[in-house]
Amino acid sequence: MLKLLRNLRRQEWAMAAVCAVLILGQINFDLALPDYMSSLTVLIKTPGSTLSDILHTGLEMLGCTLASAVLCVICGYLTAKVAAGFSFSIREAVFHKIADFGQQEMMTFSVPSLINRTTNDITQVQMLTAMGLQILIKSPVMAVWAIIKIVGKSWTLSAITAGFVAALLVMMAVIIGVVVPRFRRVQKLTDHINLVARENLNGINVVHAYNAEDYQNAKFWKGNEELMRTQLFNQRAFAFLMPGVTLAMNALSLVIYWVGASIVNAVPAADTAARLAAFSDIVVFGTYATYVIMSIMMMVMIIMMLPAAQVSAQRINEVLETRNSLTQGARIDALETGTVEFRDVSFHYPSSDKNVLEHITFQAKRGETVAFIGATGSGKTTLVSLAARFYDATEGTVLVDGVDVRDYTFDALYDRIGYVTQKAILFSGDVRGNVLFGASRGKDSDADVQKALELAQASEFVDRMPGGIHAPIAEGGTNVSGGQKQRLSIARALARRPEILVFDDSFSALDYRTDTRLRAGLDRELKDTTRLIVAQRIGTIRNADKIIVLDEGRMVGMGTHEELMQTCPIYQEIARSQLSQEELGA
């Protein structure tokens, strides 16, 4: 939790310091009240006291009470601002950190867990800050201050009070020790619940189509029931705290007045002044002792929130302290333009020691079209991911424009590449915002948007949408078809005006007519742009300058369509399964 305090800005630190001063003033006014009660007791019991003296003392008590209330209100306002600003800073830091994550970090944490850490965990820390800033300062200071005031009044009563306080602290320590590990489990179970719910919502059509509602409900019920049982255990453990503190406070008051009565009775009856002073000390002692127990009661409120907030803070720190597996270099210039080269590249995922790519070597020159084909799982997507540096090669070197991709700054590398993902991703907003998404060397005029849409064969349906390029796009692009989403994704890459275009099976959702027109437009308009194309259909890549055939992560063929039809059995097998006899002979 203390590590997160580094995210507090200067203004929050300043407000917290002012709040601390106000709390000390509040405590001073609160602890002055028992002394006024003692004075009132003496004035009332002392013959000859005037009403004006009693009223004056009473008004001073009222003034202290009002001053304490005003300070409390101001401090509450400042605390709320500190908590809100603190959570804002943490949320911003976590979001920026996640935005820099690579694929390895995303696989380590999982999307549902990161969402939970960005929302629920930060809310837990904010709630603790809002309530705890006052109480964590007020309760220990008030307890120590009250103890200092009562220690000299009666060693017997002081020892009794110390015994009650020690018993309460032991009970609190035991309960905290029991529930903290289970709060960690609660957060993990909450992550699992989010995972199940997100999976169910994303695949709701499949769930309905396969009559799997009962199966999904049972899976959710299992996780939900385990979460409920864990939370019930925690709440039952905490249920002992508040009644225990209340019992201790009432029992302490009873014991103090019972022992105090013995102390007063021990004073000779003839010595009225001494008996009055003893009685007054007992009243003051009882009040201060109650303040001590009340301070512990306030601490109990925070202790009930502390384990959950502490676990949340640890989870947030795990994100903030994660070292990215991909670090950028310092280079922004290049030796060449529009070239991609793999030199004996091998790669395996961090979670496995088995290579998914082995000894890949090829070069794509400026303006060339290099295609990759092979069976599912042969490593095509992984290969182009290395060119875009979503991962770093385990062995060998990947070069873009003659420079190792690890030497570039991220901005310099991604300015050179336009990447179209296998699964089309759109963001909520409008068509124009999606096409011009992100920073690039491309221009941002409506004419440039329209040109990118036309080249991607998307203008024909965008023009029919209400608002044209300003037509709204729902979250995830749910208000457009799969083929339309794919074409908008392609338009987004084209609008960047990159040196290198990477199409990761991006034509699979397009019909043959649109596919043909799109490739013809790319050949016509982007002659100097290098293209890396992952495809399943030979018709899409038949005219590529170079086709690379992959099988279980290895290159088993490289050449033009005609050359591979003569030299590569695997390519021949793929061709015969897709092309007619006339097309094979053409």
Q: Where are the domains of the chain?
A: 2-320, 340-585
Length of the chain: 586
Cα–Cα distance measured from residue 146 to residue 289, given in angstroms and rounded to the nearest whole number: 7
Cα distances (Å, whole numbers) of residue 38 to 152, 253, 488: 16, 17, 80
Cα–Cα distance measured from residue 313 to residue 333, given in angstroms and rounded to the nearest whole number: 41
Q: For the chain, what is the largest distance between any 2 Cα atoms, rounded to a whole number of angstroms?
A: 129
Cα–Cα distance measured from residue 423 to residue 509, given in angstroms and rounded to the nearest whole number: 10
What is the model's pLDDT at position 404?
92
User: Model pTM?
Assistant: 0.73
Cα–Cα distance measured from residue 112 to residue 152, given in angstroms and rounded to the nearest whole number: 58
Cα–Cα distance measured from residue 233 to residue 211, given in angstroms and rounded to the nearest whole number: 35
273-277, 478-482, 522-526: which range is least confident on average? 273-277
- Per-residue pLDDT band for 340 (boundaries 50, 70, 90) equals very high
Residue showing tokens 């399964």: 577
- Per-residue pLDDT band for 363 (boundaries 50, 70, 90) equals very high
- Mean pLDDT across the chain, nearest whole number? 84
Cβ atoms of 57 and 43 closer than 8 Å: yes
- DSSP at 331: B
50-59, 266-275, 353-362, 569-578: which range is least confident on average? 266-275
Whether the per-residue pLDDT at 112 is higher than 90: the answer is no
CATH number of 2-320: 1.20.1560.10
Cα–Cα distance measured from residue 75 to residue 392, given in angstroms and rounded to the nearest whole number: 52
What is the model's pLDDT at position 583?
64
What is the model's pLDDT at position 179?
77
Structure tokens at 431: 């068509």
pLDDT digits (tens, 9 = 90+) for 534-545: 988 888 888 889
What is the model's pLDDT at position 343?
93
What is the model's pLDDT at position 400?
93
Among 310-314, 382-386, 573-577, top mean pLDDT goes to 382-386
Residue showing tokens 């018993």: 167
What is the model's pLDDT at position 586?
54
Whether the per-residue pLDDT at 149 is higher than 90: the answer is no
Taking residues 453-473, what's their average pLDDT? 89
What superfamily does domain 340-585 belong to in CATH? P-loop containing nucleotide triphosphate hydrolases (3.40.50.300)
Same CATH topology for 2-320 and 340-585: the answer is no
Among 52-61, 220-229, 572-581, top mean pLDDT goes to 220-229
Whether the per-residue pLDDT at 77 is higher than 70: the answer is yes
Cα–Cα distance measured from residue 147 to residue 240, given in angstroms and rounded to the nearest whole number: 25
Cα–Cα distance measured from residue 584 to residue 586, given in angstroms and rounded to the nearest whole number: 6
Cβ atoms of 252 and 270 closer than 8 Å: no
Cα–Cα distance measured from residue 458 to residue 488, given in angstroms and rounded to the nearest whole number: 6
Beta strands in 442-483 (DSSP E): 472-473
What is the model's pLDDT at position 584?
63
